[in-house]
Amino acid sequence: MNPRILAVTTGRILRQLRHDRRTVALLLVVPALLLTLVYYMYADQPAPPGGVSTFDRIALVMLGFFPFVIMFLVTSIAMLRERTNGTLERLLTTPLAKADLLFGYGIAFGLAGAVQATVASALAYWVFDLNTAGGSELVIMIAALNAVLAVALGLFCSAFARTEFQAVQFMPVVVAPQLLLCGLFVPRDEMAGWLQAVSDVLPLSYAVEALQEVGAHAEPTGTMWRDLTVVVGATVLALVLAAATLRRRSG
Amino acid sequence: MEDAIVLRDLVVDRGRRRVLHGISCAVPRGVVAGLLGPSGSGKTTLMRAVVGVQTVGGGTVTVLGRPAGSTDLRRRVGYLTQAPSVYADLTVRENARYFAALHGRSRADADRAVADVGLSAAAGQLVGTLSGGQRSRASLACALVGEPELIVLDEPTVGQDPVLRADLWGRFHELAASGVTLLVSSHVMDEASRCDRLLLIREGRLIADDTPDAVRAAAGVSDLDEAFLRLIRASEAGSAVAAGAVGTGGEAS
Ligand SMILES: Nc1ncnc2c1ncn2[C@@H]1O[C@H](COP(=O)(O)OP(=O)(O)O)[C@@H](O)[C@H]1O
Ligand SMILES: [Mg+2]
């Protein structure tokens, strides 16, 4: 890996994103619209006695979920384009190392995810009065880590798609089970044993638990740090698998 | 000085079919070598083997004295893929600057490479909005910008206007005069006369490896197109003639 090449590659990916104004607008506006929707859906629902309001519970998880699902999609398609346009093959004939490319995507879209989470959090906290015991900066940090995890998964999954249609199909495959089993709909410890076992190997479960820890505790907890370690570990694993799909030689 | 490219009994299979049948040849340094042959004859496959992105079934490929695909060759070899491989959502200048930076070259180098392919006026334009010919020149600028010692160009002049084509060939010869080696493929025979050396490939076999003049002399005609036709007929007539006329390396491996 070479810091200069990593830096120019990150810059190149961000520049591509910047040229696509509509995508940038969608990245920032869609989470805001969906948060607004959820706010009004639950506006008249009474909070459970002594518990957190439904909006707080859902919005907190959504703040981590947006960057996850969106960066997964954006990365799968961007990487698929690199593969199908021949730019990947060309890059691999230059001094660029595989890690420069993978980390370049991780940093660029991780930053994009962090910006997205910051804008969505600002709205959630200031306009919709989201309440969390812990600080909003922890929420944003977890959301940014989620974005990087999603980038790593997207880089890997892009190897199994030949077309953009196929790449989009990976979203329900990779994202939907993680959302359903992450503990938002049914608390994880109330699920059937086998579902819990599946949930235990899905990285989003840990990200969501970390967010819930921030929601419930003023100070970062050990559980939160453990969860984030798992998220980072899953990211590294996905990056290693993604690197294995980047072959300099092919038939 | 050692040759820029040495192929020895190169065999490549793609999708269960043998695409290159034991090719042997050498390209000296500081020349423009033309790789000519009809579509589907294996030009792209051979070039991929030279830049080290093609899985090889047998034989050896030596580039600038090192096995093709060696890490240090990646800063010494430039590759233009047949389909333009540049970022459609970046401008011409941004593409050139990115590939320049990968090779440790400056922004000024990038701007010069853009000018060299005649795209200065479109430098600020998104590649996605360029015409096909402009897009392949943008891709060419990105292959030249690293100032490599060996430049492998897969059909760089397809779809270019005749004046530009002449300019580009002029640029290739300037580079060769400065010691750079160029391997340039084309399926148009009229480009053959612009090369210092010719490799004629047909159905994965080399049927000529010589200077244009020697190819003309061997065939006994002054027109290169006609000369190729005769060489092809001769090689089809009998392997003895083919082995005598050119360097296919004799026995198939
Ligand atoms: N990815 C591939 N998989 C299988 N066969 C291929 C592939 N690419 C090219 N071929 C086959 O290899 C042969 C040579 O192709 P190519 O090297 O592209 O020729 P050229 O560049 O001279 O047109 C052709 O018969 C082509 O069909
Ligand atoms: Mg070709």
φ and ψ of B149, to 5 deg: -80, -30
For residue B35, the ligand closest to its alpha carbon is: 1
Ligand 1: does its nearest atom lie under 6 Å from the Cβ of B15? yes
> Cβ atoms within 10 A of the Cβ of A142, count?
27
Q: Are A67 and A144 in contact (CB under 8 A)?
A: yes
Count of alpha carbons within 13 angstroms of residue B220, beta-carbon side: 3
Return all residues near B186 (Cβ < 8 A) that are at least 6 apart.
B34, B35, B36, B155, B157, B158, B192
Do B69 and B14 share a domain, yes or no?
Answer: yes
Do the domain assignments include residue B54? yes
| pLDDT value for B240 | 47
- Res. B241: pLDDT tops 50: no
Residue A104 zone, left/alpha/beta (φ > 0; ψ -120 to 50; rest): alpha
Per-block average pLDDT, block size 10, for chain A (251 residues)? 95 96 92 92 81 88 92 94 93 95 96 94 94 94 94 94 91 91 90 92 95 95 96 96 92 85
- B50-64 b/e with 16+ CB inside 10 Å = b? bbbbbebbebebbbb
Judge: A86–B104 Cβ closer than 8 Å, yes or no.
no
Give the burial class of A168: count Cβ atoms within 10 A of its Cβ; 0-12 exposed, 13-18 middle, 19 or more buried. middle
The band of B158, judged by pLDDT with boundaries at 50, 70 and 90, is: confident
d(CA A247, CA A91): 11
Residue B123 lies in a domain: yes
| Residue B12 Cα, gap to closest chain A Cα (Å) | 9
On the question of pLDDT at B195 being above 50, the answer is yes
**Residue B47 CB contacts under 8 Å (≥ 6 apart), including other chains:** B35, B79, B152, B154, B183, B185
Q: Is B78 in the pocket of ligand 1 (CB under 6 A)?
A: no
B69 and B106 housed in the same domain: no
In a domain, B247, yes or no: no
Mean pLDDT of B229-233: 85
The pLDDT mean for chain B works out to 90
Averaged pLDDT, B228-246 = 67
Q: What is the pLDDT of residue A28?
A: 92
Parent domain of B136: 77-147
Distance, in Å, from the CA atom of B213 to the CA atom of A177, rounded to the nearest integer, reads 68
The count of residues in chain A is 251
To test the contact with chain B by mutation, choose from A94, A96, A101 the residue with the greatest count of B C-beta atoms within 10 A, namely A94
Q: Is residue B111 part of a domain?
A: yes
Question: For position B218, what pLDDT does the model report?
Answer: 85
Please count the structural domains in chain B: 2
Tell me the Cα Rg of chain A.
19
Do B26 and B86 fall within a single domain? no
For residue B239, pLDDT beyond 60: no
CB pair distance less than 8 Å for B103 and A95: yes
B98 has a chain A CB within 8 A of its CB: yes
Which candidate in A1, A16, A23, A87 is best for mutational testing of the B interface (most B CBs within 10 A)? A87
Q: Which helix (H) or strand (E) holds B33?
A: strand B32-36
Does residue B242 carry a pLDDT above 50?
no
CB contacts, 8 Å: B142 with chain A: 90
Domain range list for chain A: 3-245
Nearest to A8 among B13, B69, B102 (CB): B102
Task: Check whether B23 has a pLDDT greater than 90.
Answer: yes
Q: Which of B54, B102, B126 sits opposite A94 (nearest CB)?
A: B102
Domain boundary among B92, B121, B147: B147
Q: How far apart are CA B82 and CA A151, in angstroms?
A: 30
Find tokens 């060696």 and name the residue. B70
Using CA atoms, how far residue A219 sits from A132, A136, A144, in Å, is 11, 12, 19
**Selected residues 24-63 of chain B with any CB under 8 Å from a CB in chain A:** 51-55
From chain B, the residues in CB contact with A12 under 8 A are 87, 90, 94, 98
Q: Which of B23, B35, B44 to mutate to test the pocket of ligand 1 (most atoms within 8 A of CB)?
A: B44
Assess if residue B175 is contained within a domain.
no
A95/B102 Cβ within 8 A: yes
A85 reaches B (C-beta below 8 A): yes
Strands laid side by side in the B32-36 sheet: B77-80, B150-153, B181-186, B32-36, B197-202, B205-210
Query: Which pLDDT tens digit goes with each residue over B162-184?
Result: 888 999 999 999 999 999 999 99
| Cα–ligand 2 centroid distance for A75 (angstroms) | 30
- CB neighbours (10 Å) of residue A71? 29
Specify the pairing of strand B197-202 against strand B205-210: antiparallel
Backbone angles phi, psi at B23, to 5 degrees: -95, 130
Tell whether B31 and B86 lie within a shared domain.
Answer: no
Q: Are B247 and B25 a contacting pair, CB within 8 Å?
A: yes
Contacts of residue B243, defined as CB under 8 A and 6 or more positions apart, other chains included, come to B250
pLDDT above 70: residue B2: yes
- Tell me which residue has its CA closest to atom 8 in ligand 1: B14
pLDDT at residue B230, as a whole number: 87
pLDDT in tens, B112-126: 999 999 999 999 999
Q: Whose CA is nearest to atom 24 of ligand 1?
A: B40
DSSP A58: H
The structure's pTM equals 0.90
Residue A86, chain B, CB below 8 Å: the answer is yes
Query: How many whole angstroms separate alpha carbon A230 and alpha carbon A209?
Result: 11
B176 within domain boundaries:
no
Q: Is residue B162 part of a domain?
A: no
Q: What is the pLDDT of residue B220?
A: 86
Structure tokens at A169: 């199909």
A221-to-A70, A107, B13 alpha-carbon distances in Å: 28, 26, 58
Question: Do B67 and B87 lie in a common domain?
Answer: no
Read off the pLDDT of each residue in B177-205 and give the average, rounded to a whole number.
92
Ligand 1 nearest atom to the CA of residue B39, by list position: 23
- In the numeric block, which tokens belong to residue B112? 């010069």
Any idea what DSSP says for residue A47? P
**Is position B45 within any domain?**
yes
Q: Chain B neighbours among A 129-148 (CB < 8 Å)?
A: none
Cα→Cα distances A45→A82, A185, A186, Å: 47, 17, 19
CATH number assigned to the domain comprising residue B186:
3.40.50.300
